[in-house]
Structure 1
Amino acid sequence: MKLGKLTDYATVILTEMARAPEQRRSAVDLAQRTHVAAPTVSKLLRQLAQAGVVEATRGAQGGYRLAHAPERISIADVVNVLEGPIAMTSCTVHGDGCPIDDHCGVRSNWWRINAAVERALASVTLADMCAPLPAAEFPLRRMPQAPSSATAGA
């Protein structure tokens, strides 16, 4: 499972906003601070404003700010806005329409896995993202590489 680049950028932008939640920020300022391209920042801020995650104010004193306290905005909220409902498989969202639905022996476990992922994303807020864990406490894991064609048959 991999989230899209826009979702990643949105968390970077929102985390920057969470550092000073009462301050109104322009898209240009956020682009400079986060190193995300200004058109991308503008696009994401419009989506987030439409979803009620940020507030937009027009005018000379305008800009964007978080619509809620950073402690009340979870990563699950952000993922839902940009990716749609959190779903490991289509049946965990749609619930029906699968041709093997009547004979599926794993569906309930996918629901369980989906719920665990959703709980994990909901448990981390923008406030949490402002203070990331030190690398020593959460070492990065590398994805295993697929065997190359030269070693696949060996």
Structure 2
Amino acid sequence: MRLSSMADYAVVAMSAAARHCGSTRVSATQLAEETGLPIPTVQKLVSLLSAAGLLHSVRGVKGGLQLARPAAAISLADIVEAVEGPIALTACVESSRHDCALEKSCTVRPHWPIVNEALRGALADVPLSRLARLEPAPMEQPA
């Protein structure tokens, strides 16, 4: 599985926005400059992330963008879903999709929701506050 470029860019942009958390608001232009993303891409991401309730936009002289909630309360899953929609490895788990030739005889289909929930859970366990650190945290050792 691989994230789309837009989902990847959304994580990059949100991480940059999180580094401004608690200080001044940041503009889309500033996010583009800090991340190296094209301004039109950042503007599209701002729209998607705002619609998902992850970013808040304030107009005016002291306006700009800010996280809609603390970085620790925003997960990697939240960001990916804002751009990609629900996290799923296969399309067959969507009740409206019936384009698989194996649908009627597939014995694996009932198990995909379990896999998808495990994947979503793993992404939900990664807070934006961790992704926004300039230095990566050391890998946790299993107990």
Shared fold per TM-score greater than 0.5? yes
Match of 2:81 in 1: 80
Aligned to 2:2: 2
**Counterpart-to-counterpart distance in 1, 2:104 and 2:42:** 45
Residue 20 of structure 1 and its aligned partner are, at CA, apart by 2.4
Matched residue of 1:17: which SS?
helix
Pairwise CA distance, 1:16: 1.1
Structure 1: where are the runs of 5+ without partners? 139-154
CA distance in 2, matches of 1:64, 1:57: 6
Larger Rg: 1
The one-letter code of the counterpart of 2:20 is A
Q: How far apart are 1:102 and its partner, in Å?
A: 4.0
CA RMSD, Structure 1 to Structure 2 (Å): 1.9
Counterparts of residues 112-127 of structure 1 (less than 5 Å): 112-127=114-129
CA distance in 2 between counterparts of 1:11 and 1:96 reads 28
Instruction: Measure, in 2, the Cα distance between the counterparts of 1:109 and 1:116.
Output: 11
Aligned to 2:13: 13
Letter in 2 for 1:92: V
Equivalent in the alignment of 2:45: 44
Cα contact 1:56–1:62 (8 A) shared by 2: yes
Q: 1:106 aligns with which of 105, 108, 111?
A: 108
Cross-structure match for 1:53: 54
What whole-Å deviation, never above 9, does each CA across 1:26-75 have from its counterpart, x for those lacking one?
Answer: 11111111111112111111221122110001111110000000011111
Tell me the secondary structure at the aligned position of residue 111 of structure 2.
helix
Structure 2 match to 1:68: 69
d(CA) in 2 for partners of 1:47, 1:96:
24
Deviation at 1:96, TM superposition (A): 6.5
Aligned equivalent of 2:130, options 128, 131, 134: 128
3-state DSSP of counterpart to 2:26: coil
Q: Note if 1:25 corresponds to 2:26.
A: yes
Identity value in percent: 40
TM-score by length of 2: 0.85
Judge which range, 90-99 or 107-116, deviates more. Answer: 90-99
Query: Which letter does structure 2 place at the counterpart of 1:16?
Result: A
